[in-house]
């Protein structure tokens, strides 16, 4: 299992993906010790029943919400983690799948189903939900719908769809107006951000304090906004002349209103100069930002990236 923790202002986004294996519940507990308010976003085809139940119990005890985002699949043990959410979110474009418990030979197991049923009851779900969740054989899957969830008293909230489907037999997708507006807003924010980095130092330093949240996951370390500003100012002083340009067609933005955040990825090409040192450099880098959109202006709450090509530092001409 891969686990990524990203602060979004007062809320934390915990992203879980990949196979759920023995020991993952302990890893989840260890990594989330200091997290008090979170949404757990899930993408997994499942894995260990016991690990999935253990993680679901931890999610419930910590009061976390769960989410299966657009175009993601959460099945088997992953779906059990999702059930643990104090509030459960599901994109209309997501798939959540359940089936009966099985042993190491792929055969349905009564003991496993008893453990599964006890877990579901512990979450406060009905007997109808237990039957629904275990009705599919280990070699098949029951895919949850909003209608079936309501019928079997499985509370969930559908997030806003990122697309609408036409009445034709072939789906013809188009982004919803609100999703387009939000993605466009974040896209403009990122474009403006790199334009700002290309500005004189005085202009950057006057705006910089308004760009970041109070806590930032900054290249793998959670730091304060002041620490981010110090790093940025040091970089600006080293390279007072800068030109950054987002590579055409590389910027992608994914937003989810239920967690109050957007992720922006892309490639930026750059040239930097230091007249005082008579040197210049340049290259290309990937970038990834998490943007919080709760309670007012957009704020950067996570930043990372990697240099993918770099020109040797040379003397200014």
CA-wise closest residue to 126 among 101, 146, 102, 151: 151
Higher pLDDT, 180 or 130: 130
CA triplet 246, 252, 255: central angle to 5 degrees? 130
CA-wise closest residue to 158 among 90, 248, 221: 90
pLDDT tens, residue by residue, 55-88: 999 999 999 999 998 888 999 999 999 999 999 9
Of the ranges 5-14, 197-206, 258-267, 282-291, the best mean pLDDT one:
282-291
pLDDT at 173 over 70: no
Tokens coding 51: 């690990």
CATH number at residue 269: 3.10.450.50
Pair 141, 48 in one domain: yes
Residue 233 confidence (pLDDT): 94
Q: Is residue 26 one of the residues assigned to a domain?
A: yes
Q: Is residue 168 one of the residues assigned to a domain?
A: no
Residues paired with 268 in a beta bridge:
246, 285
CA-wise closest residue to 12 among 34, 27, 28: 34
Give residues with Cβ within 8 angstroms of 43, minimum separation 6: 15, 16, 17, 18, 68, 69, 72, 73, 74, 78
Pair 154, 16 in one domain: yes
Q: Is residue 97 one of the residues assigned to a domain?
A: yes
Share of the chain above pLDDT 70, in %: 89
DSSP character string of 29-70 = HHHTTT--SEEEEEEB--B-HHHHHHHHHHHHHTT-EEEE-T
Q: Is residue 165 one of the residues assigned to a domain?
A: no
Contact by Cβ (8 Å): 68, 74: yes
Q: Is residue 171 one of the residues assigned to a domain?
A: no
Pair 153, 260 in one domain: no
Pair 137, 9 in one domain: yes
Residue 65 confidence (pLDDT): 94
Q: Is residue 64 one of the residues assigned to a domain?
A: yes
Tokens coding 38: 């979170």
Rounded CA gap, 63 and 39, in Å? Answer: 9
CA-wise closest residue to 302 among 230, 211, 231, 235: 211
Rounded CA gap, 181 and 179, in Å? Answer: 5
Pair 204, 60 in one domain: no
Rounded CA gap, 111 and 185, in Å? Answer: 52
Which range marks the domain in which residue 206 is found?
177-315
Rounded CA gap, 176 and 161, in Å? Answer: 7
Residue 295 confidence (pLDDT): 53
Pair 91, 185 in one domain: no
Q: Is residue 89 one of the residues assigned to a domain?
A: yes
Pair 145, 25 in one domain: yes
pLDDT at 3 over 90: yes
**pLDDT interval class at 281 (50, 70, 90):** very high
Q: Is residue 164 one of the residues assigned to a domain?
A: no
Residue 172 confidence (pLDDT): 32
Pair 123, 246 in one domain: no
């Amino acid at each position: 299992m891969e686990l990524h923790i990203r602060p979004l202002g007062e809320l934390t986004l915990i992203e879980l993906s990949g196979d759920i294996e023995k020991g993952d519940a302990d890893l989840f507990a260890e990594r989330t010790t200091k997290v008090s308010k979170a949404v757990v976003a899930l993408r997994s085809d499942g894995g260990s029943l016991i690990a999935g139940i253990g993680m679901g119990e931890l999610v419930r005890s910590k009061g976390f919400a769960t989410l299966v985002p657009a175009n993601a699949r959460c099945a088997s043990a992953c779906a059990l983690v999702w059930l643990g959410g104090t509030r459960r979110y599901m994109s209309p474009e997501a798939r959540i799948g359940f089936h009966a418990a099985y042993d190491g030979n792929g055969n349905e197991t009564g003991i496993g189903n008893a453990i599964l049923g006890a877990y579901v009851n512990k979450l406060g779900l009905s007997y109808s939900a237990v039957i629904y969740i275990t009705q599919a054989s280990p070699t098949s899957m029951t895919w949850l719908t909003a209608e079936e969830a309501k019928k079997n008293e499985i509370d969930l909230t559908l997030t806003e769809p990122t697309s609408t489907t036409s009445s034709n037999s072939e789906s013809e997708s188009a982004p919803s107006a609100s999703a387009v507006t939000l993605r466009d807003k974040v896209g403009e924010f990122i474009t403006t951000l790199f334009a700002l980095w290309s500005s004189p130092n005085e202009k950057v330093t006057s705006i910089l304090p308004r760009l970041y949240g109070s806590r930032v996951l900054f290249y793998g370390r959670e730091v304060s906004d002041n620490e981010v500003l110090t790093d940025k100012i040091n970089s600006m002083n080293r390279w007072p002349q800068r030109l950054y340009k987002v590579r055409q067609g590389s910027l992608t933005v994914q937003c989810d209103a239920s967690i109050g955040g957007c992720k922006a990825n892309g490639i930026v090409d750059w040239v930097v100069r230091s007249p005082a040192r008579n040197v210049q450099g340049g290259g290309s880098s990937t970038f990834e930002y998490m943007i919080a959109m709760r309670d007012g202006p957009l704020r950067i709450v996570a930043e990372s990236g990697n240099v993918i090509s770099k020109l040797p530092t040379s003397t200014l001409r």
